Structure 1
Amino acid sequence: MKNKRLKYLLLTLFVVMLGLLSRKMSACTLDFVKLYLGDVLWAMMVYFGCRFLFVNMRKRVACVLALVFSYLIEISQLYHAPWIDAIRATALGGLVLGFGFLWSDILCYTVGVLLGIIVDGLLGWSRK
C-alpha cells in the first residue's frame, strides 16, 4: 500500500509541475491551450491527490470526490469578501482558490478528472 501511495504522490507532484509550467508557457502560441490546460491539470491533480490520500478508495468515489471538491472551489469564486480576496491575492491562494467563476472551468475540471481516471486505469496500479 505504501508503494501505491508513493506512486500517487509522485504522480500528483508531476501534474503540479506540469500545471506550473503551463502558466509559464511562452512557446505555446495556441490561446486555447493557454486558457484551459492549467484548469484541466488542476483537476487532474485533485483526482490524484484524492487517490494519494485515500489509496484504497474506488476510482468512482475518488472521481466524485475530486469533481465535488473542484466544483465547490469554482463556486466559491462567486463569494468576494475582503478576507478571502486577500487570500486569493497571494500566489498560492490564487492558484488554489482562483479568482472568478467561469462555466468553462467546470468543463475543464470534468475533463481533467476524466483524464486522471484514464491515466490511472492505464497505469493499472489499482488492479489486484
Structure 2
Amino acid sequence: MKNKRIVFLIVSFITIVTGLFIRLKKHWFPDIVNLYLGDILYAFMMFYIVSFCVPHKNIKARAVTALLICYCIETLQLYQADWITAVRQTIPGRLVLGSGFLWSDILAYSIGITAAFLFEKFMFFKGRPEDKNIS
C-alpha cells in the first residue's frame, strides 16, 4: 500500500510539472491543445491525488470521487462573491479554482479522468492481481 501511495504522489507531481510547463510554453502548442490539455491534466492529477489519499479504494470509486471534485470546483466558479473572486485573482487561486465556468471544462475533466482510469487499469498496475479487481 505504501509503495502505491509513493507512485501516486510521483505521478501527481509529474502531471503538475507537465501542466505548468505547457502553460508556460503555450506558444509551442496549437490553440486546441492550449484550450483543453490543461483541464485534462488537471483531472488526471486529481485522480492521482484522490488515489494518494485513499489508495485502498477501488479504481472506480477513486475515478468517481475525482470527477465529482472536478465538477464541484467547476460549478463553484459560478459563485462570484468578492472574497472568492479575490482568491481567484492570485496565481494559486486561479490554478486551483479556475476563473469561469465552461461546459467544455466539464468535458475535458471527463476525458482526463477517463485517461487516468485507463492508464492505471491497463498500464500502471497491470501485473498485480489485487489491482485488477475494479468492481
- Once the two structures are TM-superposed, the CA of residue 127 in structure 1 deviates from its matched residue by 3.7
- Once the two structures are TM-superposed, the CA of residue 118 in structure 1 deviates from its matched residue by 1.0
Aligned CA distance change for structure 1 residues 11 and 127 (closer, same or farther; 3 Å):
farther
Provide the C-alpha distance between the structure 2 equivalents of 1:32 and 1:69, rounded to a whole number of angstroms: 24
- Once the two structures are TM-superposed, the CA of residue 24 in structure 1 deviates from its matched residue by 1.3
Name 1:64's counterpart in structure 2.
64
- Once the two structures are TM-superposed, the CA of residue 76 in structure 1 deviates from its matched residue by 0.4
Unaligned regions of 5+ residues in structure 1, if any?
none
Provide the C-alpha distance between the structure 2 equivalents of 1:52 and 1:14, rounded to a whole number of angstroms: 14
Sequence identity (%): 39
Across the two proteins, how many residue pairs are aligned to each other?
A: 127
Where do residues 1-128 of structure 1 align in structure 2 (5 Å cutoff)?
1-25=1-25, 26-28=27-29, 30-121=30-121, 122-124=123-125, 127-128=129-130
Provide the C-alpha distance between the structure 2 equivalents of 1:51 and 1:127, rounded to a whole number of angstroms: 18
| Runs of 4+ deviating beyond 4 Å | none
Aligned CA distance change for structure 1 residues 127 and 15 (closer, same or farther; 3 Å):
farther
Provide the C-alpha distance between the structure 1 equivalents of 2:21 and 2:60, rounded to a whole number of angstroms: 29
TM-score by length of 2: 0.91
Larger mean Cα displacement after TM superposition, 100-109 or 16-25? 16-25
